[in-house]
Amino acid sequence: MIVASGLPRFHRPLRKALDDKTRILYFYRLQNFDTGSPKALAGFIDALDRSRFEPLFLAHGEGPLASALAARGVKLVPAEAASISYRHPVCSLRQLRRLTARLREIRPGLVHVMSFGWNLDLVLAAWMLRIPVILHVHTPEEAGFRNLNRFAAAKVLFCSEFERRNFGHLERIGRKTEVLYNAVDMERFGRAAPVRHAFGLRGGEIAIATIAQISWRKGIDILLETARLMLAQRQDLVFLIAGPDAIGEQKFAAEMRQQAIADPVLRGRVRFLGPRQDIPDLLASVDLFFLPTRAEPFGIVVVEAMAAGLPVVVSRVGGIPEIVTPPNLGCVVSEVAPAAFARAIAAVLELPDRGRSMGAAARENVRRRFDSAVVGQRLGDIYREVLAARGK
């Protein structure tokens, strides 16, 4: 690496390298790979222009996320990152010294953190070294008065306009904010093939799929009650639920599975599939996607269902109305209640083509707005803008 002569040693890794690629150091604090935020991270890296950017991941141990990123050719950089506190100045200074030294070794051109976080040593060390930082908000957060991350961030990205509007003390981060929707790989869903027999579906059955963590927030109880209402009227429906138990909601999840077994109306007609790695094939095998969630920052599973060409029946909450925009793309239900969802699903299934033309329109809309190529181009533009602002 060639460095301008006379540049102080402190700044050497911070000037733009004359290499062909800019290193982007990503960080996410958890190691799971079965929820929205880590999958969104993988989606952004999949969409990244590898001819211009080299992705690195700050890995604090082994786990499903690190394994998934390594399989994508992402270099894993072992290091610890944690919050610091003014109440523990000596410990905090040690953390910052450790991280600044690590960043000098890594030499990233930009740090991208998949949360807003609170006084994260990685963020503050990058700030001290004049490495631009992007914070990416996927869950409800706020810019607390004592949160130094709000000063350190060169840009704050939000997964939806809903999350941006509802961010606490948005005024404190001013013009730094921008909405960047999560990406979906249209080719991946285009390659999927129906395997109905693998899910126990018989000819003539109409399969309705939900992909979600088994939690109260995702409305799994609402789904069961909707299924009860509909199965009382017709026996050709099967409800498939793919997803893991939400952390801390194992009791709720167990109750939902027990209801599906104990209730003779639901037995055999509501099936919990657990976590799945074959989501494109699952979506290619069903007739309709249904998500009765009570809250949703964005809703990547809705985008995936639309990418699969399925009609969708979803809640009018969070960022979902930003995805399913005109009525011909899907059915967005304002009243988050079983009877309202049952009516909406029945209306779609009563269409001459059971909503397939709706699904086809949704797929084309997703291609224009959420495809990896589109999102990857915008992400690259954001990186270049931030780097240019820092004189990179």
What are the tens digits of pLDDT across the range 167-216? 999 999 989 999 999 999 999 998 999 999 999 999 899 999 999 999 99
With a cut of 50, say whether residue 13 has pLDDT above it.
Answer: no
Residue 20: pLDDT band (50, 70, 90) is: confident
Residue 392: pLDDT band (50, 70, 90) is: low
Instruction: Please state, in angstroms and rounded to a whole number, the distance separating the CA atoms of residues 335 and 315.
Output: 8
Instruction: Please state, in angstroms and rounded to a whole number, the distance separating the CA atoms of residues 234 and 350.
Output: 13
Superfamily of domain 9-183+371-389: Glycogen Phosphorylase B; (3.40.50.2000)
* pLDDT value for 19: 53
* pLDDT value for 301: 95
- What is the average pLDDT across 345-373? 95
pTM of the prediction? 0.88
Going by C-alpha positions, the residue among 24, 18, 22, 20 that lies closest to residue 4 is 18
Q: Above pLDDT 70, what percent of the chain?
A: 95
Count Cβ atoms within 10 A of the Cβ of residue 70 and give its class: 0-12 exposed, 13-18 middle, 19 or more buried.
middle
Domain regions of the chain by residue span: 9-183+371-389, 186-366
Count Cβ atoms within 10 A of the Cβ of residue 285 and give its class: 0-12 exposed, 13-18 middle, 19 or more buried.
buried
Of the chain, the end-to-end C-alpha distance in Å amounts to 15
- What is the average pLDDT across 262-281? 95
* pLDDT value for 327: 82
Encoded tokens for 352? 């001459």
- What is the average pLDDT across 69-85? 93
* pLDDT value for 351: 94
Q: Are 296 and 318 in contact (CB under 8 A)?
A: yes
pLDDT digit string (tens) for 314-348? 999 999 999 999 888 999 999 999 999 999 999 99
With a cut of 60, say whether residue 14 has pLDDT above it.
Answer: no
The CATH topology of domain 186-366 is Rossmann fold (3.40.50)
Instruction: Please state, in angstroms and rounded to a whole number, the distance separating the CA atoms of residues 379 and 50.
Output: 12
Asked whether this chain's domains 9-183+371-389 and 186-366 adopt the same fold, the reply is yes
Q: What angle do CA 210, 214, 218 make, to 5 degrees?
A: 65
With a cut of 70, say whether residue 6 has pLDDT above it.
Answer: no
With a cut of 70, say whether residue 11 has pLDDT above it.
Answer: no
